[in-house]
Structure 1
Amino acid sequence: MSASDDRSTLPTTTAADPIPNGPMIDPSLNSEPHPWHRYVALGDSFTEGIGDPHPESVGGNRGWADRVAEELSRGQADLAYANLAVRGRLLQQIIDQQVEPALALHPDLISISAGGNDLLRPGGDPDLLANKLDAVVATLAASGATVVLFTGPDVRETVLGSIRSKTAIYNENLRTVAARHEAVIADMWALRQLLNTQMWSSDRLHFSPLGHHTIAAMVLDTLAVPHTLEPLHPKDLPARTWREARAEDLVWAREYFVPWVLRRLRHRSSGDGVTAKRLEPSPIFGPGMPPGAGD
């Protein structure tokens, strides 16, 4: 089963114009530049940008973090951006492989989204995971950087629905962690647009370009950064018969679910052999409007 098509919660604003390539500074948009000059993103496939492929993006995937960095570049000409996220990473792997390298880059803005892959596994304990993350956030916040944490989305009607209760518990723990260390919460659970099926990619596990766009706008709003990411309408989809829907389910199971199960059984990860797409901070330029947006 895929995420529900809850069109009543979608924004009514028309689709945004494409984000221009080239120079990113537009004083008319950001008359008061934000305070950040160096942004480093930590995490797994969500932050790597899986589900949002783009040939002009480093690593072949764009994602919400790239989109946030593109908009931050409009307010700071010297903004540098690194993305250390790698698909499939568990929380402990993110701690071991990404935290120290991130701090060595001396960021003043850090985002970290971690623990989702752990919750998918049998025995994934949201309380223990939050305790681990608490120590990480303490370390990141002690550097003086602004730290952004993410709640998990409401997955009640997706293929991830079985972990909804664990996600809710983890989210509440994250709110406590954020309050303790004066971190910022980017609240995906409250982002009801994500209930629409078109916010999810064809694998039903990751967000689509439209989903990443929507999340990026929410992050920027949370940081009180002016931006160009207008709310976008998903395109209307034709009605499907029961038979067509089941046929799509079978294709999904063959192409995505079975390979995922086999990787688990073989103790393999989709991130085996993958390196982070932006190991060093550098400027970023945006490729433009995501596919899937209505007119």
Structure 2
Amino acid sequence: MVGFLSSADGRRRFVALGDSFTEGVGDRNKHLPNGVRGWADRVAEKLAKAEPGWEYANLAVRSKRLRQIVDEQVEHALALKPSLITLYAGGNDILDFGTDMEQLMGEYEQLVARLAGTGATLVLFTGYDVKVSAVLEPFRKRNALYNQRVRELAAEHGAVLVDYWCMDAYHDRRMWAADRLHMSKAGHKYLAARVLDQLGVPHKISPKDWDPPRRLKLREWERLQRRWIHDWVVPLFARKLRGVTLGDSLSPRWPDPVKVPRKGGLRKLQEKRLLQNKAAKERKPA
């Protein structure tokens, strides 16, 4: 089955590192930590269905830069002794003004080497095509450079490569959330399926059977562009200027390994946790 993803002592532990891409932003779910679900949760649940005993920790937090991921997530991840690690990091740095790409990729290379040295199965991702608007067009060259180096490092270290850049399914706007930078629920489900395929894990996640996207009229397109710039682009650059991010007040969704139930998934686990916490509060003396 998927036994090759276990450690030498039989431990099955999946640890996910990164930013909003891995946290699950765009795939809203009010019943789960931070109000999102995402592709990594789905991968963890399918691993548990394929083989019992899988544990899962997700340390990713939205808006984190590569240096923050190294400083805040890596030591904790290594201490958990994972048998499977996923990493996407650097996407937020690419969208920052003044990023030195040579320095960024040097730090990324050191991180990959460190994670690969654990002996765990390591999964790396290329970045998506940021061509959602002429506003973001200048960042495409950075993304291409990032992707080229990720591919080289995956080959060098024997990592599993999920080449997100090449997935034609994401040309459909319905695969994206309203901000156009994060995947929608459908996008996260599709990516989960591709990750599972690369790992050889059985699943029944199927792509959305949509009719072809409706062609927008010029006025409708202009209206949507104005709304997108007002609702997402302006606030994004305003936060950059203020030096604040959406992840400043958030903690990792699953900071410590949880044993993923084979039935009911992580939502069932979270509901059980909430009930236990409620019962503990009620038992405390006033």
TM-score, structure 1 normalization: 0.82
Query: What residue number does 1:224 align with?
Result: 200
Residue from 98, 117, 135 that aligns with 2:110:
135
8 Å Cα contact 2:19-2:65 kept in structure 1: yes
| Larger mean Cα displacement after TM superposition, 152-161 or 92-101 | 152-161
Query: What residue number does 1:28 align with?
Result: none
For residue 219 of structure 1, give the secondary structure of its aligned residue in structure 2. helix
For residue 201 of structure 1, give the secondary structure of its aligned residue in structure 2. coil
- Whichever residue aligns with residue 161 of structure 1, its letter is E
Residue from 124, 131, 136 that aligns with 1:149:
124
- Whichever residue aligns with residue 139 of structure 1, its letter is R
8 Å Cα contact 1:152-1:171 kept in structure 2: yes
CA-CA distance at 1:70 after TM superposition: 1.1
Q: 1:33 to 1:228 in 2, by over 3 A?
A: farther
Instruction: State yes or no: 1:162 paired with 2:132.
Output: no
Gaps of 5+ in 1: 1-30, 288-295
- Whichever residue aligns with residue 29 of structure 2, its letter is H
Query: What residue number does 1:253 align with?
Result: 229
What whole-Å deviation, never above 9, does each CA across 1:68-101 have from its counterpart, x for those lacking one? 1111111121111000000000000000100000
1:201 and 1:92 map into 2 onto residues whose CA distance is 26
Number of positions where the alignment pairs a residue of Structure 1 with one of Structure 2: 258
8 Å Cα contact 2:15-2:56 kept in structure 1: yes
Matches within 5 A, 1:5-20: none
8 Å Cα contact 1:126-1:167 kept in structure 2: no
1:234 and 1:281 map into 2 onto residues whose CA distance is 36
Query: What residue number does 2:98 align with?
Result: 123
CA RMSD of aligned residues (A): 1.9
Query: What residue number does 2:181 align with?
Result: 205
Matches within 5 A, 1:166-205: 166-205=142-181
1:53 and 1:40 map into 2 onto residues whose CA distance is 21
2:253 and 2:105 map into 1 onto residues whose CA distance is 27
Q: 1:183 to 1:232 in 2, by over 3 A?
A: same
Task: Give aligned-pair identity as a percent.
Answer: 44
| Larger mean Cα displacement after TM superposition, 238-247 or 129-138 | 238-247
Residue from 22, 30, 35 that aligns with 2:5:
35
1:132 and 1:83 map into 2 onto residues whose CA distance is 21
Residue from 64, 72, 76 that aligns with 1:101:
76
CA-CA distance at 1:57 after TM superposition: 2.4
For residue 276 of structure 1, give the secondary structure of its aligned residue in structure 2. coil
Residue from 79, 87, 92 that aligns with 2:54:
79
For residue 143 of structure 2, give the secondary structure of its aligned residue in structure 1. helix
CA-CA distance at 1:44 after TM superposition: 0.4
Q: 1:239 to 1:176 in 2, by over 3 A?
A: closer
Q: Which structure has the highest helix share of the two?
A: 2
Q: 1:247 to 1:187 in 2, by over 3 A?
A: same
8 Å Cα contact 1:126-1:166 kept in structure 2: yes
Residue from 36, 55, 58 that aligns with 1:61:
36
For residue 166 of structure 1, give the secondary structure of its aligned residue in structure 2. helix
8 Å Cα contact 1:39-1:69 kept in structure 2: yes
Residue from 89, 93, 100 that aligns with 1:114:
89
Q: 1:228 to 1:247 in 2, by over 3 A?
A: same
| Larger mean Cα displacement after TM superposition, 92-101 or 215-224 | 215-224
8 Å Cα contact 1:125-1:166 kept in structure 2: no
CA-CA distance at 1:165 after TM superposition: 1.8
Q: 1:160 to 1:194 in 2, by over 3 A?
A: farther
Query: What residue number does 2:277 align with?
Result: none
CA-CA distance at 1:118 after TM superposition: 0.5
For residue 165 of structure 2, give the secondary structure of its aligned residue in structure 1. coil
- Between the two structures, name the one with larger relative contact order (CA 8 Å, sep ≥ 6): 1
For residue 5 of structure 2, give the secondary structure of its aligned residue in structure 1. coil
Gaps of 5+ in 2: 7-11, 268-286
Query: What residue number does 1:10 align with?
Result: none
2:60 and 2:23 map into 1 onto residues whose CA distance is 5
CA-CA distance at 1:275 after TM superposition: 0.6
1:34 and 1:69 map into 2 onto residues whose CA distance is 15
8 Å Cα contact 2:2-2:51 kept in structure 1: no
